[in-house]
Amino acid sequence: MKIDSLKMGTVDVIVPTGPLVDDDAHHFGHILREKLEVANPRVVVSLQQVPYLDSIALETLVDVSEELADRAEELKLAQVPQICREAFELTGTTSHFRLFNEVQDAVKSFL
């Protein structure tokens, strides 16, 4: 799995490519948690290239979302494929995230 990390102004954008499952989901979680080590993390995850995710990835996203909420911040997800949206809905985790159609919209929402 390839995971790109870009900086758009003060916002970190994480872009995984491929299924977020097993060891790849753990690796994704490690990279995502590194972004929380700054004082005021601003994080967007683009899921456009993620065809599906497993419970490890879901748990990671929820845990990071809760950690950010404790710091009055928010995890924002962009370009979420339908299958991933359905996974969020089926597991009742949709409310943990703000979903955006485009990365740029998610980044702008921090202003």
Q: Residues 6 or more apart from 55 whose CB is under 8 A from it?
A: none
Q: Indicate whether 51 pLDDT > 90.
A: yes
Q: Indicate whether 111 pLDDT > 90.
A: no
Asked if residue 3 lies in contact with residue 28, where contact means CB atoms within 8 angstroms, the answer is yes
Distance separating alpha carbons of residues 32 and 35, to the nearest angstrom: 5
Number of domains in the chain: 1
Q: Residues 6 or more apart from 29 whose CB is under 8 A from it?
A: 56, 57, 60, 63, 64
Domain extent at residue 39:
2-108
Q: Backbone phi, then psi, for 50, in 5-degree steps? A: -105, 105
Amino acid type, 42: R
User: Tell me, what CATH number does 82's domain have?
Assistant: 3.30.750.24
pLDDT single digits (tens) 54-86 = 999 999 999 999 999 999 999 999 999 999 999
pLDDT value, residue 13? 98
pLDDT single digits (tens) 29-40 = 999 999 999 999
The pTM is what? 0.95
